[in-house]
Amino acid sequence: MTSRKSMHRTLRQIFVAPLLVAIVSTLGLVCALVGDGWWDALSWVTLAVPVVLYSLFIWWRKPN
Amino acid sequence: MTAATRSLRRWGFVHKWTSLICTVFMLLLCITGLPLIFHEEIDDLLHSQVKAAEVPPDTPLADLDRLLANAIVNAPGQVPHFLIWDREDPNAMFVSVGPSITSDPSKNLLIRMDSHTGAYLDAPDVTGRFTYIMLKLHTDMFAGLPGKLFLGLMGILFCVAIVSGIVVYAPSMRKLSFGTYRAGRTRVVRWLDVHNLAGILLVAWTLVVGFTGVINTWADLVLKMWQYGQLAEMTAQYRDRAPPTKLTSVNAAVEVAAHAVPGMTASFVAFPGSIFSSKSHYTVFLRGNTPLTSRLLKPALIDAETGTLTDSRDMPWYVSTLFISQPLHFGDYGGMPLKILWAVLDVLTIIILVTGIYLWMRRRRAGVSVDRVIARSSGIESPALSS
């Protein structure tokens, strides 16, 4: 795993995760507009994704 | 220097300058926007208001003419501009009054009325409230339309900064995996990681909230366009007619409108002569019942002399765009959990702005320009910075 770090990553490798997050959060922004109840719940879960990922990476990752 | 490096440097230059110009204003917007997400809760907490009567469900609504008369009795010398149903509280509605029908409606007084009994509740002066001051700072910095349009321009720069930020994200992540946070390194490295991570995670949200904010700054212009466009068209044949001497019942006008457009409910009524109507019409704005369609208003024009429907059309695309962009900016369309998420994402945006300013200052001090750092795949390895 550490050897991969020295390699240059391709654009696809760099952007695949951000793209997924962007798609998921856009979905969350839209679906609360569509309806109430489950639609709202779906938007809470999807819009929480960037927040949860941020917390995971910054706070719950052990310092190296 | 290769073409790709030159292009990256250009993007780095764009990212640096668009960010630097808008950052102070974006900080103001993020900080004032934070309490605005919870403006109702804050107002409830800070200000007491007269409660509407507790009524069993299915209690019929008060006759609107009687309700209106009660409101005017409590506001001598004022004339009604609008009758507005409270979105949040079905027990209350508002009568918006001004000194004359042509006076500036943004200075109107809002009278709260009980929608079932038709009784006067209160008409608080909101202009000294914390939420009002935050709202003014957030929308126009107390500088009117020029202030609004200026903030809109800052919003456009913010959107350009986000897009250029996506481009310069690539070279700084060439050797790093997604989500890298080098906790053991110096602050400049840690904050660069925070800036990159939060920035890229929030791209969709910041772009949507940023751009819908820009659209909101054009609201006055959009509504003017509608007034001189579709509304003028719908009322063209009445333009030279003398305004009615005695107005027909507003209650009947609302009923006629609701009948004409089934499945929609009244959202607000503009009185004859007010900015959202003609001199001869009540304009009843109707709304749908889903989160989306409840934002898309549909005007129905009722002749204020005969009480008959003269026209009803869907709003043009530019008004619909404005209406849809409002909830997407405010975050008020998915209950309290969505509001809380909105607040958290807003705080993360503040973190992006602050780390961005810090990175710029550090690199300036170190004598390494941002575009060079970015072009050099991963500038944080530079000895000048790892002090």
Cα angle: A36, vertex A39, A41; to 5 degrees: 100
B145 within domain boundaries: no
Q: Kindly indicate the confidence band of residue A8, based on its pLDDT and cuts at 50, 70 and 90.
A: confident
B170 within domain boundaries: no
CB contact under 8 A, B184 and A63: yes
CB contact under 8 A, B197 and A57: yes
CB contact under 8 A, B179 and A48: no
pLDDT tens digits for B128-171? 999 999 999 999 999 999 999 999 999 999 999 999 999 999 99
Tens-level pLDDT at each residue, chain B (387 residues): 788 889 999 999 999 999 999 999 999 999 999 999 999 999 999 998 898 988 888 889 999 999 999 999 999 999 999 999 998 888 999 999 999 999 999 889 999 999 999 999 999 888 899 999 999 999 999 999 999 999 999 999 999 999 999 999 999 899 899 999 998 899 999 999 999 999 999 999 999 999 999 999 999 999 999 999 999 999 998 888 888 889 999 999 999 999 999 999 999 999 999 999 999 999 999 999 888 899 999 999 999 999 999 999 999 999 999 999 999 999 999 999 999 999 999 999 999 999 999 999 988 776 555 445 554 544 444 433 433
β-pair type (B120-122, B109-114): antiparallel
pLDDT recorded at residue B87: 86
pLDDT recorded at residue B241: 86
B64 within domain boundaries: yes
Q: How many domains does chain B have?
A: 1
Residue A33 has pLDDT above 50, yes or no: yes
Q: Kindly indicate the confidence band of residue A61, based on its pLDDT and cuts at 50, 70 and 90.
A: low
Q: Kindly indicate the confidence band of residue A18, based on its pLDDT and cuts at 50, 70 and 90.
A: very high
B319 within domain boundaries: yes
B17 within domain boundaries: no
B65 within domain boundaries: yes
pLDDT recorded at residue B134: 97
pLDDT recorded at residue B381: 42
| Contacts B11 to A, Cβ<8 Å | none
Q: Which two tokens stand for residue A7?
A: 């390699």
d(CA B271, CA B230): 17
Which of B307, B302, B305, B304 has its CA nearest to residue B286?
B302
For residue B51, give the DSSP letter.
P
Query: Chain A contact for B189, CB < 8 A?
Result: no
B284 within domain boundaries: yes
pLDDT recorded at residue B382: 41
Phi, psi of B330 (to 5 degrees): -80, -25
pLDDT recorded at residue A62: 54
- In terms of Cβ atoms closer than 10 Å to its own Cβ (0-12, 13-18, 19+), residue B20 is middle
| Contacts A21 to B, Cβ<8 Å | 200-201, 203-204
| Contacts A4 to B, Cβ<8 Å | 177
ipTM of this complex: 0.89
Domain that holds residue B60: 50-122+218-330
B344 within domain boundaries: no
